Amino acid sequence: MLKAVAAASALALALLVSRLAPARGIDPLRAAAFVALNPLVLVHVVGGAHNDGIATLAAMLGVAAVLSSREFTGGVALTAAAAVKVSAIVVAPFALLGSKHRAKLLFGALGASVTIAIAGQLAFGWNWLDAIGLAGENQSRTSHLSIPTTMARLTGLDPGTTRAAALALYAALVIYLLTWTWRGHDWLRAAAWATFGLLIATSWLLPWYLIWALPLAALSRDRLLRLLLLALTAHQLGARIPI
């Protein structure tokens, strides 16, 4: 059942990206293929039955809503995405800066947050708050092919040093991208770079995480970003796919 849901989310992502692509001046078939035919998506998101596809789909529904000036719905969808997987929240500040009616987006996010909190409390008591700490706990771990760990292995530096340096550089990147967006530039492109930067900076990188950035990059109109994601895909193939 979980694999079926994951497969449906990947197909829905491809369809959604193809629908958004023409308005961005992008070939819809190429955009959909960039997402759905990535081998890490096929093997790990679908085959591994991970919830990253669901979270990314909710985030992209939020992106689509903001692009079509339905900010309230966008706020609801982006909040739902973060509730499924907190990494999806990276998109939210860029959508907020890029939206025409920011108050509506904030109201949608607030309403969704309250609803989710009440549902969690009724279902699990205060234990639902334990999920919030998981993201922080993951950053105390390292995966063999994460970029900070790989750099530490190649340079002989302490993994803690490379991890701290990566997070500091990522913070600087996010500040730059938020400023760039505030000045009126393409918020979706900025969100795509911020999500890709998160993949590069995290010390706990697993192959199925790449789906976070794929649909944003497909719509970003940024060839360099797409090439970098393909390179990161190739790097991650050796993590769980024997080659």
Q: How many domains does the chain have?
A: 1
The answer on pLDDT for 72 being more than 70 is yes
Band the pLDDT of 159: cuts 50, 70, 90: confident
Give the span between the Cα atoms of 132 and 136, in whole angstroms. 8
- Specify the pLDDT at position 138: 61
Confidence of residue 127 (pLDDT cuts 50, 70, 90): confident
- What is the pLDDT, as a whole number, of residue 145? 85
Check residue 133 and give its pLDDT. Answer: 67
Give me 238's structure tokens: 């050796």
How is the chain classified by DSSP, letter by letter?
A: -HHHHHHHHHHHHHHHHHHHTGGGT--HHHHHHHHHT-HHIIIIIITTT-THHHHHHHHHHHHHHHHTT-HHHHHHHHHHHHHH-GGGGGHHHHHHHH-S-HHHHHHHHHHHHHHHHHHHHHHHGGGGGGGGHHHHHHTTS--TTSHHHHHHHHH---HHHHHHHHHHHHHHHHHHHHHHHHTT--HHHHHHHHHHHHHHH-SS--GGGGGGTHHHHHTTT-HHHHHHHHHHHHHHHHHHS--
User: Domain of 229?
Assistant: 2-240
Answer whether residue 58 shows pLDDT above 90. yes
Which of 196, 91, 198 shows the shortest CA–CA distance to 139? 198
d(CA 105, CA 82): 15
Copy the structure tokens of residue 112.
């969704």
Q: Tell me, what's the pLDDT at 238?
A: 77
Average pLDDT over residues 111-138: 82
Could you give phi then psi for residue 143, rounded to 5 degrees? -105, 150
User: If pLDDT is split at 50, 70 and 90, which confidence band does 124 have?
Assistant: confident
Q: Could you tell me which of 147, 231, 165, 216 has the C-alpha nearest to residue 186?
A: 216
Start-to-end CA span in the chain (Å):
29
The overall average pLDDT reported for the chain is: 92
Average pLDDT rounded to a whole number, residues 58-78: 97
Judged against a pLDDT cut of 90, whether residue 142 lies above it is answered with no
Percent pLDDT > 90 in the chain is: 74
CA distances from residue 231 to 57, 210, 234 in whole angstroms, order as listed: 23, 11, 5
pTM over 0.85: yes
Please give the residue that has the higher pLDDT: either 195 or 128. Answer: 195
Whether pLDDT at 187 is above 90: yes
Residue 243 reports pLDDT greater than 60: no
pLDDT in tens, 83-113: 999 899 999 999 999 999 999 999 999 999 9
